[in-house]
């Protein structure tokens, strides 16, 4: 499969996906959004892909937001459709059972910050910049910014950034919990690979289970969430991987998980 706005590079069990419109700072036009949907389906279904790194082309931007030239002509009806489509695709990405790391290598603004927040974890290069500048354009975020931002960093911090449209640097993003860590730019992809490979040493059903359980508890009350956790815990206890993981620990050897 080929893409006109994405690069897809398999890397020994991982997929490196790059939004590739460097002359427009990788802004999200309709083609990028459509292709992000297609590539999400692909990595979800392809057993050869066990983890994903999502980044932007060039050294300046991860994604500098929705494509403003495309957005400028939107009407109420078309803007709602555009937001719905992007939101559903970002949600698909968030629900992918394989770990997805955003490698934020520069500006992550508007839809770019929202795309990073829909990934499971975020690593930032030291030159990364984050923000939701939609208010400066007279609009609100449309790809989950008002929903995921407060959940990640708390309501007050999210509102400050949403209402001012201000940009923060990588260190501040780390301080408020928006990114997992900050690394020198040249170390960004190697660090993402290292983190993913450490995750992939673990039982794949358990990894997928943690992603699913952290996601599904968002909509539940405490007691309901704990009951569901017990159910999932029991389901995993019935797998061959659980037998293997515990047997390997007892035998003091490395577990050989099969995903069953
Ligand atoms: N949509 C469409 N095009 C964009 C874009 C976006 N979100 N962000 C950047 N670009 C384009 C610029 O128009 C420019 O194109 P041109 O060379 O054809 O004129 C090119 O990318 C380079 O951007 P430029 O603005 O010249 O770079 P800069 O270093 O001076 O500034 C930013 C970088 C990120 C501060 C600035 O591009 C910006 O503010 N972008 C918009 C961010 C935004 O509001 N995003 C939310 C959208 S909802």
User: What is the average pLDDT across 14-30?
Assistant: 98
Ligand 1: atom nearest CA of 129 is: 34
Residue 177's SS3 state is: coil
Report the percentage of the chain scoring pLDDT > 70: 100
Q: Is 25 in the pocket of ligand 1 (CB under 6 A)?
A: yes
Testing ligand 1's pocket by substitution, the residue of 23, 65, 169 carrying the most ligand atoms inside 8 A of its CB is 65
Task: Say what the pLDDT of residue 77 is.
Answer: 97
Euclidean distance between the first and the last CA atom of the chain, given in angstroms as a whole number = 29
60 vs 104: CA distance, rounded Å: 10
Pairing, β 51-56 against β 14-19: parallel
Task: Say what the pLDDT of residue 247 is.
Answer: 97
Rounded to 10 deg, the angle between the 76-94 and 30-45 helix axes is 20
User: What is the average pLDDT across 47-59?
Assistant: 97
Residue 67: phi and psi, rounded to 5, are -70, 110
**pLDDT above 90: residue 21:** yes
Task: Say what the pLDDT of residue 1 is.
Answer: 82
CA distances from 211 to 95, 106, 114, 129, 233 (A): 8, 26, 18, 26, 13
């Amino acid at each position: 499969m080929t893409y006109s706005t994405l690069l897809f590079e398999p890397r020994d069990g991982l997929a490196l996906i790059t939004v590739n419109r460097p002359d427009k700072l990788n802004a999200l036009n309709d083609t990028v959004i459509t292709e992000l949907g297609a590539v999400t389906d692909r990595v979800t279904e392809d057993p050869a892909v066990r983890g994903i790194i999502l980044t932007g082309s060039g050294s300046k931007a991860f994604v500098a937001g929705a494509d403003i030239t495309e957005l400028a002509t939107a009407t109420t009806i078309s803007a709602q459709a555009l937001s719905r489509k992007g939101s559903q695709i970002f949600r698909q990405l968030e629900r992918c059972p394989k770990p997805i790391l955003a490698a934020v290598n520069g500006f992550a603004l508007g839809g770019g910050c929202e795309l990073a927040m829909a990934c499971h974890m975020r690593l930032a290069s030291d030159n990364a910049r984050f923000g939701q500048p939609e208010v400066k354009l007279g609009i609100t975020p449309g790809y989950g910014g008002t929903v995921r931002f407060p959940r990640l960093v708390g309501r007050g911090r999210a509102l400050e950034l949403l209402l001012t449209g201000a940009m923060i640097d990588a260190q501040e993003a780390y301080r408020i919990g928006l990114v997992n860590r900050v690394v020198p730019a040249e170390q960004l992809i190697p660090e993402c690979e290292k983190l993913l490979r450490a995750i992939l040493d673990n039982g794949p059903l358990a990894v997928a289970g943690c992603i699913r359980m952290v996601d599904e508890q968002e909509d539940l009350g405490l007691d309901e969430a704990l009951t569901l956790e017990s159910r999932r815990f029991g389901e995993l206890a019935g797998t061959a991987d659980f037998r293997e993981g515990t047997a390997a620990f007892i035998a003091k050897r490395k577990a050989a998980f099969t995903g069953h």
